[in-house]
Amino acid sequence: MRRRTLITGAVGVLAAAGASPAAAEDPRRRVLHVRPGDAVQAAVDAVDGPGRTIVVHPGTYRETVNIPADVRDLTLCGASRDPRDTVVVYDNANGTRKPDGTGTYGTAGSATFTSAAPGLIVRGLTIANDWLRADHPEITGTQAVAAYVTGDRSRFERVRFLAHQDTLFADTTALDSFDRQYYRDCYVEGDVDFVFGRGRAVFDGCHLHTLDRDVTFKPEGMVFAPATARANPYGFLAVRCRVTSGAEDGAYKIARPWVPSYETTAWPSLVVRDTWLGPGVDAVAPYIDMREAYPWQTMRFREYANSGPGAVISVPDSRPQLTVAEAAEHTRATYLADWRPYEQRY
């Protein structure tokens, strides 16, 4: 398997994680600029109050970025209109050993980008984890997260998320916290469970792309693996999205339910509606169990008004549908409540 090429629209210098802080802040606009040779994390560390903006100029920044919960209402954006121009990338996996010898990173710890910050806005850049299984046959913990997101009102627009297994970890800060996330016009690619977690997340007009794995078995992977808390009435909502594939027809499932061993009360929830499903989706059996003890049929999996070859209903029991009345409940407005990011445009 070849290492993914991260296309950038400008020639950039690799930024080391220990590089010097970003350029001087404009005190009038509370803006920090990050340029090749700087580190994004250094700019995050320099944030001294709510409502700051970090502008990342075109280039490739090889580092991990962690935005803590006390950095409120931060905007992180690429300086150009094309998210391919600005890339934040690293290559840790679940089973990668930490340099200090304290063990491995684990799934969440493998993330290139981590945020627990409420009110976060990210737009116009690429977040990637380019760790590859083929390069590390000795590692069995192959989850390699691009972004691990918690924190209420987390918003991503025109962001590209690139990885293989567990690309986007859309989670919550705690089991009893129903943190809301909104993804508009984003591109997410991966293979196994590459959009997963217990967050209340809306994917609005996003492009989800399944990769072709060098394996002999089917399915090659699943797009979604929600782990919604039982008390949370809403989990993942994909609306007006499209699902494409680099694999052969029928090689992928839409979803499987994730009931973590440390959280066996989970009741995964996923609604896919008004979405185009390409031929890479197994139309006959689009869902599968992760564990036999938690069959997908007992979960909150529903579809509505989807189109495309992967949406053809040939076995109705395999394609649970919302009624018209139920569909009126599963909207951006109901999932996000008093927070309406979809009414704003940049």
Q: What is the DSSP string of 169-231?
A: EE--SSTT---EEEEES-EEEESSS-EEES-EEEEES-EEEE---S-SSS--EEEEEE---TT
DSSP symbol at 16: P
Q: How far apart are the first and last CA of the chain?
A: 37
Instruction: Give CA separation, 180 vs 118, 128, 257, in Å.
Output: 9, 22, 19
Catalytic, 166? Answer: yes
Catalytic residue among 85, 152, 166, 191: 166
Number of H helices, E strands in the chain: 4, 25
Nearest to 296 by CA among 203, 221, 225: 225
Alpha carbons 118 and 105: distance in angstroms, whole number: 24
Catalytic residue among 38, 91, 171, 193: 193
Work out the widest C-alpha separation in the chain, in whole angstroms: 61
Alpha carbons 323 and 74: distance in angstroms, whole number: 39
Q: What is the DSSP string of 281-298?
A: B-SSS-B--SSTTS-GGG
CB atoms within 10 A of CB 137: 7
Instruction: Give CA separation, 321 vs 118, 121, 216, 229, 331, in Å.
Output: 33, 33, 32, 22, 15
Q: Where are the alpha helices (DSSP H) in the chain?
A: 40-46, 106-109, 324-327, 332-336
Nearest to 225 by CA among 178, 260, 276, 250: 260
Instruction: Give CA separation, 111 vs 168, 242, 306, in Å.
Output: 9, 25, 32
Catalytic, 193? Answer: yes
Give catalytic residues, as residue numbers. Answer: 166, 193
